[in-house]
Each structure stands twice: as C-alpha cells, then as structure tokens.
Amino acid sequence: MSSDFWIDQWLGSPRFQRYVDSAGGDRGDALALYEWNASLSAALLKDFSHFEVALRNAYDKAISSAWKNSTHWLLDPQSPVVVPLWRVKTHSDGLKRGSDINEKNRRQVFRAIDNCGKKNAEAGKVIAELTFGFWRYMTTSAHEKSLWVTYLHKAFSGKPQRSDIDRIIGTVHILRNRIAHQEQIFNLAHEFDPAIVHTEMMTVLERINPEAKARVLASSSVAEVFNSRP
C-alpha cells in the first residue's frame, strides 16, 4: 500500500486519479494541483458572488422602473416570472406538447416568499432568497419578449444582444455549479475556461456598473491564483 494512501481515502481514488493523470503520474504534483484547483475555485466564487448581487439588483431596478402595479413585481401575481408562459416543444418521441416554461420559476418564487414571511414577505428578502439559477434563466430566448425587450435590456449599457448576455451568464452558472460540487475546473472546453469565463463576466458587470467592476477587479485574486498553477 502506498504511504500516501490517505489521499485516496480523503479525496476518493477516481476523483484523485484525474489530477494524477493531469500531473503526468506524479502524486505529489497531483495533490498540489488539487489544492490549486480549490484555491482558484474559491477566488472565482468570491467574484461570482459580487456579480450575482449586481445582476439581481440591476434586474430589480430595470423591472421596477417600468412596473405599473403598486405591488412589487416579484410579489405581484401578474409578474412575468410567475404567470404561465406556454411554449410548444418537440419531445424525444416526436410529439409536440405545450410546456409552461415559467413553472420552475414560479415554484422558486413562491417558495422564497413562503420562506420570507409569506404575506409579510419583503421584496428585498425574496430577491436575496432566490438562487443564481433563477436570475440566470431570465435572459433565455423564451423570455425574449416578456422580460428582455420589455425590461431587462435597460439593465445593460451599450445595447448588447440578449443572446450574448445569456451565453456569458450561462457559462458563469455552469462553472459556478461545477465549483459548488468541488469538481475539477481546469482543462475544460474553451468556452468554460475559468480565465475566459471570468473575463467575459467582467465585461457584463461593466455594462451593469463600471465602478463595481473596477472595485471587484481591484480586490480579485483570480488572475494571481490562475497564474500560479503548479
């Protein structure tokens, strides 16, 4: 038995083997690579959290500024994120069926409202309760007319295309989920490369709030950690 078998007990042999392979078979280098991956993940999560807060507040401002009802848009039963939004999809069996694409969003909103006091729920607390995944799906093509054209385009300077914003936020969401599950985040496909995802996320943050982008970059350790790869 190897003297460092504790590593396999700690991390799991299949999991650690991916790092061993990337390190050319050297287990010591593989452990250093694992620890570096964890450091990079932590640095990215810090900046991702700043981005998420900026994004949800920008969306809230954009919708609230044009919302006509007296009830906050997130608590209103006529909210575009909770009313049924039907689309016809072709399923694997070849049949076309109607699907309410807001069903998942609606469940999330209602659960957040329940968790924040039900009838006494405050909009700010509900906003903070909702997951990043909720905000991420607000820019998908299915919400082009109901959200992007009507409200969300106002959250970004420079009149960007919805599809470009959605692609970038989508890659942030995917990489964030990998990190949340303590997965390897290097040697990914080009579009999910941490350095590329971080850079593109910063371009979106600049469109939302250039001062916030400058502040996040000033305190970010992503570039430093990324360049210290063993």
Indicate whether 164 and 50 sit together in one domain: yes
Dist CA 185 CA 40 (whole Å)? 9
Number of domains within the chain = 2
Task: Give me the pLDDT at residue 30, please.
Answer: 96
Judge whether residue 181 has pLDDT over 70: yes
Indicate whether 55 and 162 sit together in one domain: yes
Containing structural domain, residue 104: 69-131
* Closest C-alpha to 14, from 150, 155, 206, 183: 183
Dist CA 48 CA 210 (whole Å)? 16
Indicate whether 159 and 192 sit together in one domain: yes
pLDDT tens column, 13-69: 999 999 999 999 999 999 999 999 999 999 999 999 999 999 999 999 999 999 999
Indicate whether 73 and 58 sit together in one domain: no
Indicate whether 110 and 167 sit together in one domain: no
Task: Give me the pLDDT at residue 68, please.
Answer: 95
Q: Residue 157 domain-assigned?
A: yes
- Give the CB-side neighbour count of residue 50, counting CA atoms within 13 A: 24
Q: Where are the alpha helices (DSSP H) in 65-192?
A: 103-115, 123-129, 132-136, 162-180
Indicate whether 156 and 217 sit together in one domain: yes
Q: What angle do CA 72, 62, 140 make, to 5 degrees?
A: 100
Last residue of a domain, one of 85, 100, 131: 131
Q: Residue 89 domain-assigned?
A: yes
Query: Which pTM value belongs to this model?
Result: 0.92
Q: Residue 127 domain-assigned?
A: yes
Tokens of 207: 């469109």
Indicate whether 164 and 217 sit together in one domain: yes
Indicate whether 203 and 189 sit together in one domain: yes
Indicate whether 161 and 219 sit together in one domain: yes
Tokens of 183: 């997965």
Indicate whether 117 and 169 sit together in one domain: no
Indicate whether 230 and 123 sit together in one domain: no
pLDDT tens column, 212-228: 999 999 999 999 999 99
Q: Residue 186 domain-assigned?
A: yes
Q: Residue 3 domain-assigned?
A: no
Residues with Cβ within 8 Å of 56's Cβ and at least 6 positions away in sequence, in order, are 127, 128, 130, 135
Which pLDDT band, with edges at 50, 70 and 90, does 1 fall under? low
